[in-house]
Amino acid sequence: MRLSPAHRTAPRRIAAAAIAAGAVLGLVGTSAGTAGAATPAHPGRPDKPIIGGTEKPVGAYPFMAALLAKGRGNPHDRQFCGGSLLEPGVVMTAAHCVVGEQPKQLETVVGRTVLSKKNQGHVRNVTDIVVHPRYARGQEAYDIAFLILDKPVTGTAPVNLPTAGTDALIRPGAKATVIGWGNTDTEVPNYPDRIRAVDVPIVSHIECKASYPGYDKKVNVCAGVEGKDSCQGDSGGPMFRKLPGRRGVYQVGIVSYGDGCAAQGAPGVYTYTGSAKLWDTLGESAQGRKVKRLLGR
């Protein structure tokens, strides 16, 4: 689901809560209004600012995944969330993207840049969806889930995760990057076919809690500034940092929610992937323990 009608009519509402109701169903079920956001009617304005970002060349983010509703239409119209390759057989995304969905309803494509280009990247079926055991619909925290793929994606370097419990990577003011095929326009729905990226500053927990009462600093991190943010359709995708002298990038966040997009005083909220509590509590379910073993955590 891209732009929820609830979001359009009630801009102060937290977007993720609205989305939790039917991430995929909005696209798979009927051709409801929400799916129309990415129909051929979308004008495509590549020069417009994700919000405030730029287009990226093919191959720039090999670990990036798109979540697609299974079907025969153009993948651009079927994309509803982002994700990232964590292991050859595991894609990480947001819980609100996939909660309540059946693996058969989705597929994922890893390493594609232009959604409509079917020859780009690696398409995989999903055999299992593992939602964090503490994620509760209608609430915001623990917004993380894992897709188990039918076949591993080999020859692609997965994204790195921070060592759990080391918060050095989320120092306020540090520069991170968020990528996706989400809405690029704060006024009208505009979903790009080519991936976009924007650099966003990490925002302090204090500032973030002031904007969002449901914010949990143990498992969340905020980023963004007026004009630069993730938006609808970017959910589940990665926010990451490039570290000097280190190969690859480190994913510090998963796009989770926000109050609108790119507005002053309303940074984007991310699931914090370096959170010790997030990974510890994943072990509270049998499925979560399985994922931890798969990831060697």
CB count in 10 Å sphere of residue 116: 13
Least distance to ligand 4AZ from the beta carbon of 182, Å? 7
Angle, CA of 187, 255 and 240, to the nearest 5°: 115
The CB-nearest residue to ligand 4AZ is: 258
Q: Which stretch binds ligand 4AZ (CB under 6 A): 36-44, 148-156, 201-209, 256-264?
A: 256-264
Stretch that binds ligand 4AZ, among 20-28, 214-222, 227-235, 245-253 (CB under 6 A): 227-235
Q: Is 234 in the site for ligand 4AZ (CB under 6 A)?
A: yes
Residues in the chain: 297
- Nearest approach, Cβ of residue 154 and ligand 4AZ (Å): 30
| Residue 238 near residue 82 (C-beta atoms within 8 A) | yes
Candidates 113, 232, 271, 273: give the one binding ligand 4AZ (CB under 6 A). Answer: 232
Residues with a known catalytic role: 96, 143, 235
**Candidate segments 42-50, 133-141, 230-238, 284-292, binder of ligand 4AZ by CB under 6 A:** 230-238
**Residue 144 and residue 27: Cα distance in Å, rounded?**
21
Of 19 and 67, CB closest to ligand 4AZ: 19
Q: How far is the CB of 152 from ligand 4AZ (least distance, A)?
A: 28
Is 111 among the residues that bind ligand 4AZ (CB under 6 A)?
A: no
* 92 vs 148 by CB, closer to ligand 4AZ: 92
In 3D space, the residue among 194, 192, 220, 188 whose CA is nearest the CA of residue 206 turns out to be: 220
CB of 97 to ligand 4AZ, least distance (A): 8
**Residues at the site binding ligand 4AZ, with contacts judged by CB under 6 A:** 15-16, 19, 229-232, 234-235, 255, 257-258, 261, 268
